[in-house]
Amino acid sequence: MAGAGDARTAQPRDVLVIGGGPAGLEAAWTAAARGHRVQLWEAGQALGGQLNVLRDVPSRARYLKLLDHQQAQVLRHGVTVHLQRRADVASVLAVRPDVVVLATGSSPQAAPAVPGGGPVYDVTLAVREADRLGDTVAVVDLTGEWATLSVVEHLADLGKRVTVYSPVAAVFWRTTIYSTLATTRRLREKGVRLAPLRRLQAWDGRVLTVEDVSCGELHRHEADALVLAQYHMANDSLRAPLQAAGLQVREAGDCLAPRTAMEAVYEGARLAYDI
C-alpha cells in the first residue's frame, strides 16, 4: 500500500497545524512526509490531546502506542513542534501560512446544576481522581460513547461497583454492534450494572434519584459518587475569523464534531493528502 512518502507533493506549502491531539499529529506528519513544510502549535505542555487521560487507564494502553507512533513520525519527518503555544487569530495572521489545519479538539461542557446539589464528576476528572470516588459509583451517560465506556471499565477494574444509567433504551449506543459483542461480556465479567431508560432527577451526594422513563416511577439508589458523561463541545472558534481573513482553513477530528480518536486520525491523514 502506498504511504505518505509515496505521494509526495509537487508543490511544497507552508502548513500550520493547530492542536497536537491525534488529529493534528496525524495531519502534521502525513503532510510533512509528503514534502510540505509543517509546524505544529500545541497549547498544552505535551502532545496527545484528550487521549493523554488514557495514560491512567491500563485497559486502553493501546492508545499510547498510537501516540508514540504519531510522535515518532512527527520527529522523523521534521515537523517543527511548539508546545505551550496557543494559537489565536493575531498569531496565525502574523505567520500567514498557505494552509491552516485546525485540530483544536473539543472540551467538556460545564456540569449542569443537578437538583440536590451533590458533587458531579466529568469523565476526565473521574479518571484523574478515581481514588476519591469511593466504592460505589453511579455513571449517568448522556452520550453512549467510547469515552464513557473506557471510564466505566476502568472504574470497575479498580474494584468499584459501577452502575451505568442512560436515558434511552440502550447503553453505549454509539459504539458499534461488533464491539458490543465483546464489551457486553467484559462489563458482565467486571460486574457492571446497566440501567437503560433511567433519567437523572436528583443527586444529593449520597442518594441518586432516577426516573424510569417508561412509566415515570422514581427510584432511589445510594452511591458514593456521581459521574455525568455529557457531549463535548467543538473548539471551533478560530475557523470563521481565519476564513474571513482569507486563509485556507482545513479541519479534522473533534473540532469538526466531537467523536472518537478513530475519526480524528482518519480525518487528519485524509486532509493531509489533499494539501
Ligand X SMILES: Cc1cc2nc3c(=O)[nH]c(=O)nc-3n(C[C@H](O)[C@H](O)[C@H](O)COP(=O)(O)OP(=O)(O)OC[C@H]3O[C@@H](n4cnc5c(N)ncnc54)[C@H](O)[C@@H]3O)c2cc1C
Say how many residues make up the chain.
275
Q: Does residue 182 interact with ligand X by CB under 6 A?
A: no
| Distance from C-alpha of 237 to C-alpha of 228, rounded to nearest angstrom | 25
Measured CA to CA, the distance from residue 18 to residue 26 in angstroms comes to 12
Tell me, what amino acid is at 247?
A: L
Q: Which is nearer to ligand X, 51 or 79 (CB)?
A: 51
> Any contact of residue 264 with ligand X (CB under 6 A)?
yes
What are the backbone angles phi and psi of residue 18, rounded to the nearest 5°?
Answer: -105, 110
Q: Which stretches within the chain are classed as H helix?
A: 22-33, 62-76, 89-95, 123-128, 146-157, 177-189, 239-244, 261-274
Task: Count residues binding ligand X (CB under 6 A).
Answer: 38
Query: Does residue 198 interact with ligand X by CB under 6 A?
Result: no
Rounded-to-integer distance, Cα 262 and Cα 131, Å: 29
Report the residue number, 123 or 162, with the smaller CB distance to ligand X: 123
> Please, is 166 exposed, middle or buried when counting C-beta atoms within 10 Å of its C-beta (0-12, 13-18, 19+)?
buried
Q: Of residues 16, 23, 32, 171, which one binds ligand X by CB under 6 A?
A: 23
Name the one range near ligand X by CB under 6 A: 39-47, 132-140, 166-174, 220-228.
39-47
From 5-13, 47-55, 133-141, 162-170, span contacting ligand X (CB under 6 A): 47-55
**Quick one: 97 or 253, whose CB is closer to ligand X?**
253
Q: Could you tell me the smallest distance in angstroms from the CB atom of residue 148 to ligand X? A: 8
C-beta of 156: minimal distance to ligand X in Å?
Answer: 14
Nearest to 47 by CA among 1, 9, 85, 92: 85
Binding track, positions 216-255, relative to ligand X; x by CB under 6 A: -------------------x-----------------xxx
Task: Say how far apart CA 234 and CA 254 lie, in whole Å.
Answer: 6
Site for ligand X in 90-149 (CB under 6 A): 103-106, 123-124, 127, 146-147
Angle at 33 between CA 28 and CA 39, to 5 degrees: 35
Residue 261 interacts with ligand X (CB under 6 A): yes or no: yes
CB nearer to ligand X: give 201 or 260. Answer: 260
49: helix, strand or coil: helix
Question: Which residue, 2 or 62, is less far from ligand X as judged by CB?
Answer: 62
Instruction: By CB under 6 A, name the binding residues for ligand X.
Output: 18-24, 41-44, 49-51, 53, 60, 86-87, 103-106, 123-124, 127, 146-147, 150-151, 235, 253-255, 259-262, 264
